[in-house]
Amino acid sequence: MGMDDDRALALIGGGDLGEDRTELTLEQAGQWLVLSLTSAHFFDLDLMLVARIPGNGAMDFVTDPGRELRTLDRCRVGDVGFWTMMPLPHEQDLEFRWHQSSLIQRIVRTIGLERLPGFR
């Protein structure tokens, strides 16, 4: 199962898609769309932000609307992704939030977005 470019562009609400990568790390920069089996994840590595849009049948998570990225432990095509996010101010009892994605299908740079989808 994969996602075509037209559907991916509709998810990001404009802009263009750039080069594909097999792995995303914190050493990279820019905005990235990570498509897993069940959801789309948007990373802005310049601002250290991540947001998720759950796909059909995927559960909603408290971290979906967007969070400050803390770590990017694993984000590779063909693997399950794992990253941590900073808590919001009202979550002072938490050290961090974490997310484990479904199997990652594609990692592609997004170009020309004014802001990351999912952020209010």
Residue pointed to by tokens 């961090």:
96
| pLDDT band of 60, cuts 50, 70, 90 | confident
Q: pTM of the predicted model, to two decimals?
A: 0.86
104's CB contacts (< 8 A; 6+ apart) are 34, 35, 36, 75, 76, 77, 78, 79, 80, 81
**More confident site: 60 or 9:** 60
At residue 112 the predicted structure's pLDDT band, cuts being 50, 70 and 90, is confident
Q: What pLDDT digit, counting tens, does each position of 6-15 carry?
A: 666 676 666 7
- 77 Cβ contact list (under 8 Å, min separation 6): 21, 22, 23, 104, 105, 106, 107
Mean pLDDT calculated for residue range 16-35: 93
The SS3 call for residue 50 is strand
pLDDT mean over 61-90: 92
The per-residue pLDDT for 65 is 80
H or E element that contains 13: none
